[in-house]
């Protein structure tokens, strides 16, 4: 494997949390699972994340959100049309879906939405989502849309992708994601 650089413990924890929460949701993952996957002892967890599971969940969601932002940026960077960018994005996400074993959820939803019924968590989830939409919005404006149209387009794409991912998950097939561009 790519274990050349044995990631520092903190990163290993975040990575493991990010993966496990995506698959099983916040409450579906126990500390024992987390520590086993990260190959870290409990002491390290509470050293790096004094508030334990919930702190780690926030960090994991942030990491996952950054990954998404990077994907958004990449797909739209090469695009000359909004439609082009959207198409690339759909393809890229369909790929990710297939690679994930067709069962992971939106990482933010899995870790923050279904987490402890803490208002901070909910607000943070909303904040991350708005970040995604803002990223797409900026590209939309750059590609010629006026402010309002760009906002509508960005939100629309978000909605379509979230919904399609859910149906894809139910069907265990990325077809819905792949055919999404036709519906724009």
Partner DNA sequence: CCTGGAATAGACCAATCGGTCTATTCTCAT
Partner DNA sequence: ATGAGAATAGACCGATTGGTCTATTCCAGG
Residues that bind DNA (CB under 7 A): 8-10, 27, 29-33, 40-44, 46-48, 51-54
Q: 103 is in the binding site of which of a second copy, DNA, none (Cβ under 5 to 8 A by kind)?
A: a second copy
For a second copy, the closer of residues 37 and 48 by Cβ is 37
- Least Å distance, CB 54 to DNA, is 6
Q: 41 is in the binding site of which of a second copy, DNA, none (Cβ under 5 to 8 A by kind)?
A: DNA
C-alpha–C-alpha distance, residues 124 and 147, integer Å: 25
For a second copy, the closer of residues 48 and 92 by Cβ is 92
C-alpha–C-alpha distance, residues 30 and 81, integer Å: 44
For DNA, the closer of residues 29 and 90 by Cβ is 29
56 in Cβ contact with 99 (< 8 Å): no
56 in Cβ contact with 45 (< 8 Å): yes
- Burial label for 71, CB within 10 Å (0-12, 13-18, 19+), is middle
C-alpha–C-alpha distance, residues 134 and 130, integer Å: 6
Could you say which residues in the range 108-167 bind a second copy, by CB under 8 A? 109-110, 113-114, 117, 122, 125-126, 129-130, 152, 155-156, 158-164, 166-167
Among 4, 22, 69, 17, smallest CA distance to 48 is for: 17
* Interacting residues toward a second copy by CB under 8 A: 23-28, 103, 105-106, 109-110, 113-114, 117, 122, 125-126, 129-130, 152, 155-156, 158-164, 166-167, 169-172, 176, 183
């Amino acid at each position: 494997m790519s274990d050349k650089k044995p990631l520092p413990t903190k990163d290993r924890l975040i990575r493991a949390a990010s993966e496990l929460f995506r698959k099983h949701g916040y409450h579906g993952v126990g500390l024992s699972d987390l520590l086993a996957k990260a190959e870290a002892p409990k002491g390290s967890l509470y050293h790096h994340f004094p508030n334990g599971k919930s702190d780690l969940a926030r960090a994991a969601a942030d990491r996952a959100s950054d990954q998404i932002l990077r994907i958004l940026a990449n797909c739209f960077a090469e695009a000359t049309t909004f439609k082009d960018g959207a198409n690339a994005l759909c393809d890229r996400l369909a790929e990710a879906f297939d690679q994930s074993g067709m069962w992971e959820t939106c990482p933010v939803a899995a870790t923050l939405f279904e987490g402890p019924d803490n208002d901070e968590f909910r607000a943070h989830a909303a904040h991350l989502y708005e970040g995604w939409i803002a990223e797409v919005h900026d590209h939309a404006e750059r590609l010629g849309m006026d402010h309002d149209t760009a906002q509508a387009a960005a939100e629309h794409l978000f909605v379509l992708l979230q919904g399609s991912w859910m149906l894809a998950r139910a069907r265990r097939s990325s077809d819905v994601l792949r055919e999404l561009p036709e519906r724009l």
